[in-house]
Amino acid sequence: MLDRAYSFAEQDLAATLRDETIPVALDVHYAVRRRDASGAFLRRVVYQRPELERGHTQQGFYLCAADGTLYEGWNNRSVRRLRQRLADGLAAHRARGEVTHAVQPDPAIDKKYTRALPDGGAVVEVFSRVLDGTWTKPPTELGALRRAATGRDHLWIARGELNALAEGVWPDRLGRRIARFHLIDNTRGEPPMWTARERRACQFAITRAANGDVDVTGRVALVAKGGHRGYEAALRGAVVMRGAALQRFDLVSCGDHWGHGPFVRDAPAGRFRLAVAFRLAERDYAARIPPQAARDRRRYLAAR
């Protein structure tokens, strides 16, 4: 139950969220910089947060009306506070009454912030997990959840790369993209991507069966400057093409990771086992979420 008395029960709160709100998940650091109507609307919502000051993070939760009126804005991971804030915001919305706001098509979308899958490309789901490691400190309640968490992302494969796979050729650019932007420990936060200079080894080989299916093997060595962070792993998988259409993309990387980034702390001590798995994405709305590293779409696809 909620910690405070509200005009409606928790069950009613859940039903209201399901039936009367539109959930939106986005990268606020990225989207708030858009120079179009979408970015302007988000900035209007975000900057109503009373405690938001210059230099503070804009990430968090926002509950607003269709006209951009902010009811609640906060940046806290407490489930209890989340429920309280949602209930407060919904109560304020109900007290205000019906809000109508005409939405017009955006006449000038900021193309710099439009991240779309390349025409004819394919989307692959990416999952990462710490399999084994030793922590020197007991975790907090949130830390325990993070240590057992699964990182998620998407890999984009371009049409030309699919054509190469159909011919039994592994595209070097695809291997570089996987190594630099997807063989990362993102299980506890937002990780740094590997740079081209930190890619010490990136080798992939394929064997094509008589039926056209492709077995993939690989090896990577990724080491940050100074050696404080790295990942050395072997990869193995299978790719199935039907013409130029990707039917299956199963790939697993497993190896030793060490160190952490500024926004993904609390790594196990020393070396620990990190696995990254890839599989063809289902064709649903979730597949439209762009890769984490695709903020710079050109750099992501080139992966030099």
Nearest to 128 by CA among 223, 304, 257, 227: 257
> Half-sphere exposure of residue 238, counting CA atoms within 13 Å on the CB side?
7
pTM of the model: 0.85
Q: For residue range 267-291, what is the model confidence (pLDDT) as tens digits?
A: 999 999 999 999 999 988 788 899 9
More confident site: 150 or 7: 150
Helix axes 79-96, 10-20, angle to 10 degrees: 70
Contact 265, 188 (CB under 8 A): yes
Question: Token digits for 286?
Answer: 């979730």
Q: For residue range 120-173, what is the model confidence (pLDDT) as tens digits?
A: 999 999 999 999 999 999 998 888 999 999 999 999 999 999 999 998 899 999
Confidence of residue 229 (pLDDT cuts 50, 70, 90): very high
Q: For residue range 99-109, what is the model confidence (pLDDT) as tens digits?
A: 777 777 777 88
